[in-house]
Amino acid sequence: MKVCLLTHAYPRFPNDTTAPFVEMTAETLQRNGIDVTVLTPDTPQFARTAADHGVTLKTYRYFFPRNLQRLGYSNTLVNDCELKKYVYLLSPFMFLSGIFHLFWLHRKQHFDLLHAFWLLPNGFIGAVISKLCKVPLMVALRGSDIFIAKQNLVFRFMACWTLKNATMVTSVTPAFFADLEAFGVPAGKMRLIPNGSHPRLFPEPSNAQRVALRQHLSVPEGDQVVFALGRVVLKKGFDILIQALPLVHEKVQKFTLIIGGDGTDLQRLKTLATELGLSASIRFPGRLPRSEVPKYFHLCDIFTLPAVFDPKGNVDGCPNVILEAMACSKPVVASNISGIPVVVKDGETGVLVAEKNASELAAALITLLTDQRKREQLGRAGQQRILNELTWEKVSEQIKDVYLSCVNSNI
């Protein structure tokens, strides 16, 4: 089976942390017998000429000069809350160029199926070619695409038309099914497919590497480590995490919080930490190269992601960093929203807390920081759940099943 995977985010250079889940999906499907071609818009930072593991990688230009190609790759939203102004100028060019290049590529490759990550722009691009060329289309929702579809009447119309013409729609969380129903999608077209991970993707560092990392981050000897990772935007809830720290300090003195990642909310978080007198307890190492991420996971005692619905209503679908922490046998403390409960079982593989509740978050962190046996129990159970249900290989089998349903349907 020949599949074209449409995306506007893909690792652009070695160690890039942009959308590794798209790359893992493509590579795992390729290993499992699917002939995968990835089509993604060009960007000034794109330095790859080929994908790995047999995947074919194609990019397309949509604006000149090249440095004005600013869409996708987490550049579309301001703090993930509102569309940047240039989106309205550039998006018509991306849509038109994407449609043209996909049509040309399909004429050459004769794909059996189109697989679009995100409803807009890729779902719409795929839907146009699906309609013109009578090829099945699977649209995979991630989270921000539902938010963007609600931003104006034009995007809402495009989203509705895309969903109407999609053969199947998948989501990383059942929480989005209500949105799909509101867009008129029948239940028979919806499928739940979570993200994946695997322990082999996160090798344990040597003791010397652990010591070197602790020294690099100036983590005091004897301190436990709480780790959070993600783009530093409002919907990650990192401000709630910082607000919880004074409560944690009342019960546990020797711990350090590491917040990895970069984004538009970083300076505000640093200011908040200073105002609360927490600068000595928090480290902000910035954007982490992909090769360094396993070291941070294995360094920590607890991983946390107190995700929230941001003021505009945007929310993550199912953050991959949670599955990555579970793959590293780390207990997870996270918010009980969106797709997080799909992968984190409260009291079994981690602890789920109410969103935007600093006191409940603090209580969960205190419980695990003071109970090593509980931490290890939750961590082992989380890793076992990954191995039993959520490896990329198992996820790819679910995707292949949907592919077959799409191909065998009457479009």
The model's pLDDT over 330-386, given as tens digits with 9 standing for 90+, comes to 999 999 999 999 999 999 999 999 999 999 999 999 999 999 999 999 999 999 999
Q: How confident is the model at residue 43 (pLDDT cuts 50, 70, 90)?
A: very high
Residue 201, pLDDT > 90, answer: yes
Summarize pLDDT for 65-123 with one digit per residue, the tens: 999 999 998 888 887 778 898 999 999 999 999 999 999 999 999 999 999 999 999 99
What whole-number distance in Å separates Cα of residue 191 and Cα of residue 198? 22
pLDDT at 216 > cutoff 80: yes
Nearest to 179 by CA among 159, 165, 193: 159
What pLDDT, on a 0 to 100 scale, did the predictor assign at position 399? 98
Q: Nearest 5°: CA angle at 400, between 47 and 409?
A: 115
Cα–Cα dist 310/84, whole Å: 16
**Domains, in order of start, for the chain:** 2-196+391-407 (3.40.50.2000), 199-389 (3.40.50.2000)
Instruction: Give the single-character DSSP code of 123.
Output: I
pLDDT reported for residue 411 = 58
Taking the CA atoms of 1, 15, 292 and 74 in sequence, report the sign of the dihedral they define.
negative
Tens digit of pLDDT for each residue in 220-244?
999 999 999 999 999 999 999 999 9
Instruction: Classify 212 as helix, strand or coil.
Output: helix
Angle at 196 between CA 12 and CA 383, to 5 degrees: 125
Provide, for the chain, the percentages of residues in helix, strand and coil under a 3-state DSSP scheme, each rounded to the nearest 5: 45, 15, 35
Instruction: Write out the two tokens for 343.
Output: 């992968």
Q: Determine the 3-state secondary structure of 385 from DSSP.
A: helix
From 38-42, 176-180, 324-328, 340-344, the region with the lowest mean pLDDT: 176-180
